[in-house]
Each structure stands twice: as C-alpha cells, then as structure tokens.
Amino acid sequence: MRTAAKIHPPGDWVRDVKGTTYGFDAFLERITAFHGYPAPGLVIGGKMVDLALSAMPSGCLFDAIAETGHCLPDAIQMLTPCTAGNGWLKVMDLGRFALALHDKHSGNGIRVFIHTHKVAAWKQIDSWFFKRKPKAEQDSDALLREIQQAGEKILQMETIRVQPRLMVKDSVGTRGICPQCGESYPLKHGSACRACQGLSPYTTV
Ligand SMILES: [Zn+2]
C-alpha cells in the first residue's frame, strides 16, 4: 500500500496530530524553543512525522519508533502524543534517519526515511546529510531554505509491520533491593542492579 501525501495549503510547512499547521518559520521557532537551536535534522524530521501521520488511518491509536536518537525523537515528541517518558515512543540505535508510526494493537504502520537518491538532487541537504563538509563550512541558511523547498520530495514512505516480539508490553516485573547500592531494581536484571553490574554512567564523588 502506498498512500498519497496530503497536499498542504500554501504557506503551511508541517501539521501535528491534531491538525494544527505551522508555517516554516513558526516551526523553526517551535524547534528552537524545544530543542535549543533550529537543527536541520529536526526540521526534516517534522516533515517525516507529518508524512507518516498523513498516511495513518484516522483515529488510529499509534506508537512511534525512531531509528536514531538524533533529532527524530524530538520531531515525534513535538508533533504527536508519543514521548520517551510515556512509553509510546521507542528510540532505537539503528543509526538510520528513519521513523515509523504504527497501530498500537496490530503493529501495522508507516515508515518514513530520507531517500539517498532523491537527496542527491539537493546540494545543501546532500552535503549536510552525508557530512561532506565540515560544519563550519556549511551555509545553514541555504540549507534551511533548501529543506523548506524540498519538503517531502527527499522522503520515502513504506508500509511496515512491527515484529511481534516488540509488541509485547515490557513490564518491570518484580522489584527487589540491590545488595550493593541498596536501591530498588527489577529482579529480572540479575542479582544486582544494572548500575552495580558495571553500567553506571557515574562515579560518586
Ligand atoms: Zn545497585
């Protein structure tokens, strides 16, 4: 199944799950407020979410998957109710600049990615996407202008079905007290919490 992309009224850049539309500049402002700066990847990510939303059946209760931790989780969180915190957004470290929205129950959904051949026609985007130039030599304004012009022309959409193993609700299960740090942790992690098994990001100072 391939679903035709929705046509935006002129001047509209991106639409969220509620159908609220934002012009390009308004979306850049929202990105800056949420993300700290107008990251090109997040601008494109907004278009990717918009495209996926336009192809989902209306009223579908969906979850989201980001295939990279860069930019795309924020695009999903800005335009849909799926967040990392509520568990409706999974961030996977696959390193692909792609995202998917899928029906919470059936696992059927839409994946959107940057098409490497399509991107070749857009010099600034191509150079940014493949990191062909050092960041300092990039013309950020020209890049954003090109992203605005290109819109969904650089994107590809496909239908997907999420693997059944990922559809199982990941429950914490029984909790216990870690014998080393004394904090609570899921017993299924082993005889000590994961931090005490060597995965702690800190040392205590
Ligand atoms: Zn511990």
Position 10 scores a pLDDT of 53
Is there a contact between 147 and 165 (Cβ–Cβ < 8 Å)? no
Residues in the 5 Å CB sphere of ion ligand 1: 178, 180-181, 193, 196
Position 8 scores a pLDDT of 52
This prediction's pTM = 0.89
> 116 alpha carbon to ligand 1 midpoint, in Å?
45
> 187 alpha carbon to ligand 1 midpoint, in Å?
11
> 171 alpha carbon to ligand 1 midpoint, in Å?
19
191 vs 12 pLDDT, higher one: 191
Residues 6+ apart with CB under 8 A from 51: 5, 110, 112, 152, 155, 157
Token couple for 41: 């990847």
Give 9's pLDDT tier (boundaries 50, 70, 90): low
> 172 alpha carbon to ligand 1 midpoint, in Å?
16
| 171-205 classified as CATH 3.40.718.10 | no
Summarize pLDDT for 29-39 with one digit per residue, the tens.
Answer: 999 999 999 99
> 191 alpha carbon to ligand 1 midpoint, in Å?
9
Write the single-letter amino acid at 37: Y
> 202 alpha carbon to ligand 1 midpoint, in Å?
12
Token couple for 139: 């013309």
Position 2 scores a pLDDT of 31
> 199 alpha carbon to ligand 1 midpoint, in Å?
10
Summarize pLDDT for 18-31 with one digit per residue, the tens.
Answer: 999 999 999 999 99
Identify the three-state secondary structure at position 161.
Answer: strand
* Fold of the 14-168 domain: 60s Ribosomal Protein L30; Chain: A; (3.30.1330)
Identify the three-state secondary structure at position 159.
Answer: strand
> 158 alpha carbon to ligand 1 midpoint, in Å?
43
Residues of the chain with CATH 3.30.60.80: 171-205
Residues of the chain with CATH 3.30.1330.130: 14-168
140-150 vs 40-55: helix crossing angle, rounded to 10: 10
